[in-house]
Structure 1
Amino acid sequence: MNIALAIMYIYPNADPMKDFVVQDNGPEPVIREGAEEKGRVRYEIKPPEIGEEPVEGIHYRYIVDYNLLVEGKDYDIIERGPYIAAWNLAAPQPTEAELEAAWEAYLEAEANKMPELSEVEQLRAENIALQDRLQDVEVIMAELLSI
């Protein structure tokens, strides 16, 4: 399912550059319960000034070093797939079921949609239609003359 196209089907006036963000991060590590402490490492960002208390997020932050953890035991690699990362519309965010229904409706609408013709193809189709009408007129004229 293409979530962005499903959202645009539900909300056709939505601007995909401003109103919502669909994201797919690919395979991501998910830490199992209790393993975060084992792989937690303090990462220094900048030293505090003299007399200043270090503040987490400004002077340091904690990160998880996956080299200290074992895949399958401490963490798993999970493919989450595409998801709505940001929603800025005033309308309510659609549920997974609504998105699925909109995607099916979108596919059905696209299947029933007439293919768009180029200008040359459109002129050829009009020319063929006019020739068919001319033949019909000629047949009617021949029938009228034979009466």
Structure 2
Amino acid sequence: DAIMWAYPDATPNKDFVLRNDGNGPYIEKWNLRAPIPTEEELQLWWEESKKSQLYPPPSLIESLGRQLTEERLARKALEESYKLMGEELAKLKIESLQLKGEQKQ
């Protein structure tokens, strides 16, 4: 929420990725054209966001819907990659069989 308050046009999981390995959240990836914020900046933004409410936090349903959409898009991209790899493997198999046939002659 603090990052979204400071960068309202940012897209979570695209412009920045947060992660929590059990020791508290941290910024895993930062794709914005700005320096990665410090802990102090994040804390300040968090306090300011609570005061102003310029950025209303997304509802749980909105967050889950966004995450589901992102996962569907990722799955679709993987399926397309698998399809292309399968086609390439089939071509290589045909070429391999053709080469083996030429060597026997």
Q: Which has the higher contact order (CA 8 A, sep 6+)?
A: 1
Q: Compute the TM-score of the two structures, normalised by the length of structure 2.
A: 0.48
Higher helix residue share? 2
Say which one has the larger Rg.
1
Q: Compute the TM-score of the two structures, normalised by the length of structure 1.
A: 0.35
